[in-house]
């Protein structure tokens, strides 16, 4: 029998399920941080939603904790790294609210197109205004979906049911997968330029914050209507306000905002804007599913059984030789995603040297975890990474070779357009990137990096260095490698800050520079 501490409201059915299994369910809602530190002592499991902050201090006090369960998707309020370090499993309920979120997007789409809340407010206040609230049909309109994850895919299905033409932007979905969904994949600029409506279903990351900004809205089709039920901050709200005021954007339906909770925004003054207070998961069914799902996951964790929605893993489950490569593998996956600027159609993974004699399945999972880290709206784990690969049409080919010419161990990734290899070096087993796009380099993976491929001629390093200096971007380390098969060279630079878009565009315009790729923070 275990003590399960529940600090936020979950479905009664979930509580009953845990009690029926013979455990003590201790419901203490509304705890402040100090009260939580006291309550966590002696608890074997902790179940939360979004309000409870599971900090390193909480985990330290919870010496008996086996599992932390989040009744929902996001894990921003859980120190997952510290939990992993302490051997505490973290689980969530990633599929509990996807239907509700998709339906909320469609509710806002229809409400915005037909001015439903505005007409309702006018009528109940004594005004019969049929002509003022004339709307538009969805049938035959071009519907742009930004992010084709689980929620985006459900929205696409519903858009097809309304007879809409579907286009989408998602660099982490293969063209073949999109084709099966009846969706044409296009660059973001093209999606904005062609769409009558767009619906956003992206995670909030460094790359997506402010993605729909003033420049992007200026490129949009005149009269576009924008729906956002994903995360606040993906749309620049000030830019959206100005675009609606000018008539470039016809209107918007928003469920999320840059700062929440919010009850005061310039957008609220616009009659063509429909808003709701982050209700995407606020249905009876979604809350019931979340409560039941998290109860099931916590019970499995307490039993020591396989937990489908675990988001972390104990490195001790891998052998000693393999476990030290987990971090490198995840870094390689993230760097490769940035090089590819999305998801390749296929990925070849090769383990060379001593690693070829080990069970490397967990390293493949770690690679996939890094690859998908920035491209899905839910946390990526060792458990769900293969499922994400299948859903997005990524073909994975693995191979092993016990011989490695230059290194004791080597992990290599290759697609049609890009290649990458890494290893561990020295007594401290320090991670190193040793090959990028078939150019030999040696540089440690860093929080922010820049990869520049250029003609192999004098002066190119100076051109790049001067541009970065003018942009006030510091260079922490740098490696340069020529190509073995052509007259090109590659620079891999570690930078002290994230390289801005303006510098990327400037470098791409320089004569002799062939490719520029930004590596975002790990």
pLDDT in tens, 387-401: 788 888 889 999 999
More confident residue, 501 or 144: 144
Quick count: other Cβ atoms within 10 Å of Cβ 219?
A: 14
Place of tokens 């928003």: 254
In 120-164 the beta strands, taken as DSSP E runs, fall at: 142-146
Mean pLDDT of 8-35: 96
Q: Is 398 helix (H, G, I), strand (E, B) or coil?
A: strand
Q: pLDDT value at position 315?
A: 43
Is residue 16 over pLDDT 60? yes
The whole-number pLDDT of residue 317 equals: 55
Query: Does residue 486 come out as left (phi exceeding 0), alpha (psi in the -120 to 50 range) or beta?
Result: beta
Catalytic residues: 231, 260, 278
If we measure between CA atoms, which residue out of 473, 398, 371, 489 comes closest to residue 436?
489
Interval 438-450: pLDDT, tens: 999 999 999 899 9
Please give the pLDDT value at position 377. 67
**What are the structure tokens assigned to 119, written together?**
């007409």
H helix or E strand, kind and range, residue 317:
none
Mean pLDDT of 116-131: 96
Sequence-ordered list of residues with C-beta below 8 angstroms from that of 77, at least 6 positions apart, any chain: 48, 50, 51, 52, 53, 54, 70
Report the percent of the chain where pLDDT is more than 70: 97
Q: Give pLDDT tens digits for 300-332.
A: 999 987 788 888 865 445 566 788 898 899 999
Please list the residues that pair with 107 across neighbouring strands. none
pLDDT of residue 217: 98
**Dist. CA 187–CA 171, nearest whole Å:** 8
Q: Does 522 have pLDDT greater than 80?
A: no
Q: Distances from the Cα of 362 to the Cαs of 315, 356, 402, 515, in angstroms? A: 9, 13, 18, 32
- Side by side, which strands form the sheet with 449-455? 475-482, 488-495, 449-455, 513-519
User: Which residue, chain included where needed, has tokens 């080919």?
Assistant: 397
CA 138 to chain centre: 29
- At 231-267, the pLDDT tens digits run 999 999 999 999 999 999 999 999 999 998 899 999 9
Is the pLDDT score of 345 beyond 50? yes
CA proximity to 374, closest of 422, 342, 348, 340: 342
CA 252 distance to own-chain centroid: 23
- 115 — pLDDT class (breaks 50, 70, 90): very high
For the record, the structure tokens of 446 come out as 């860093």
- Average pLDDT estimate for 176-180: 90
Higher pLDDT, 190 or 305: 190
Q: What is the mean pLDDT of residues 415-433?
A: 93
Residue 448 is predicted with a pLDDT of 92
Domains and CATH numbers, the chain: 3-94+284-303 (3.40.50.720), 98-275 (3.40.50.720), 316-519 (3.30.1330.90)
CA dist 292 and 297 (Å) reads 9
Rounded Cα gap, residues 207 and 146, in angstroms: 14
Give the percent of the chain with pLDDT over 90.
75
pLDDT score recorded for residue 316: 43
Query: Is the pLDDT at 205 greater than 80, yes or no?
Result: yes
Residues β-bridged to residue 47:
6, 69
pLDDT at 310: 87
Q: In what order do the strands lie in the sheet with 89-92?
A: 24-27, 3-6, 45-48, 67-70, 89-92
> How many CB atoms within 10 Å of residue 467?
16
For 420-448, the DSSP string reads EEEEEETTTTEEEEEEETTEEEEE---SS
Inform me whether the pLDDT recorded for 482 exceeds 80.
Answer: yes
């Amino acid at each position: 029998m275990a003590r399960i501490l529940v600090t936020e409201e979950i479905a009664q059915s979930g509580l009953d399920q845990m009690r029926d299994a013979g455990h003590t369910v201790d419901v203490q809602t509304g705890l402040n941080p100090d009260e939580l530190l006291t309550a966590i002592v002696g608890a074997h499991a902790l179940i939360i939603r979004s309000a409870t902050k599971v900090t390193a201090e909480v985990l330290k006090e919870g010496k008996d904790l086996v599992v932390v369960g989040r009744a929902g998707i996001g894990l921003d309020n859980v120190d997952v790294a510290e939990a992993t370090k302490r051997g505490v499993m973290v689980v969530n309920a990633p599929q509990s609210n996807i239907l509700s979120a998709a339906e909320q997007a469609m509710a806002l789409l229809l409400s915005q197109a037909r001015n439903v809340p505005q007409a309702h407010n006018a009528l109940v206040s004594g005004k019969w205004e049929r002509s003022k609230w004339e709307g538009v049909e969805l049938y035959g309109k071009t519907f742009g979906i930004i992010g084709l994850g689980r929620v985006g895919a459900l929205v696409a299905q519903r858009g097809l049911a309304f007879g809409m033409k579907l286009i989408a932007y998602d660099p982490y979905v293969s063209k073949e997968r999109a084709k099966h969904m009846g969706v044409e994949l296009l660059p973001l600029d093209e999606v904005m330029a062609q769409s009558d409506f767009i619906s956003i279903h992206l995670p909030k990351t460094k790359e997506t914050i402010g993605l729909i900004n003033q420049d992007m809205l200026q490129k949009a089709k005149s009269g576009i209507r924008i729906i956002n039920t994903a995360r606040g901050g993906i749309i620049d709200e000030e830019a959206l306000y100005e675009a609606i005021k000018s008539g470039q954007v016809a209107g918007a339906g928003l469920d999320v905002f840059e700062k929440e909770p919010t009850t005061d925004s310039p957008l609220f003054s616009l009659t063509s804007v429909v808003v709701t207070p982050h209700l995407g998961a606020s249905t009876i069914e979604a809350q019931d599913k979340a409560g039941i799902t998290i109860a099931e996951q916590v019970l499995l964790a307490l039993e020591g059984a396989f937990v489908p929605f675990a988001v972390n893993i104990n490195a001790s489950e891998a052998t000693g030789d393999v476990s030290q490569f987990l971090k490198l593998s995840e870094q390689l996956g993230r760097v490769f995603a940035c090089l590819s600027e999305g998801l390749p159609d296929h990925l070849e993974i090769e383990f060379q040297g001593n690693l070829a004699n080990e069970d490397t399945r967990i390293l493949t999972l770690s690679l996939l975890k890094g690859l998908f880290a920035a491209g899905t709206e839910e946390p990526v784990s060792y458990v769900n990474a293969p499922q994400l690969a299948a859903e997005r049409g990524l073909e994975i080919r693995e191979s092993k070779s016990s011989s490695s010419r230059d290194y004791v161990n080597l992990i290599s990734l290759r697609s049609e357009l890009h290649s990458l290899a890494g290893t561990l070096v020295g007594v401290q087993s320090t991670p190193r990137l040793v090959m990028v796009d078939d150019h030999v380099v040696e540089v440690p993976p860093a929080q922010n990096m820049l990869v520049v491929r250029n003609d192999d001629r004098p002066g190119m390093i100076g051109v790049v260095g001067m541009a970065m200096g003018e942009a006030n971007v510091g260079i922490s380390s740098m490696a340069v490698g020529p190509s073995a098969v052509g007259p090109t060279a590659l620079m891999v630079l570690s930078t002290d800050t994230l390289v801005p878009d303006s510098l990327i565009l400037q470098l791409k315009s320089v004569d002799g520079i062939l490719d520029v790729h930004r590596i975002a923070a790990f």
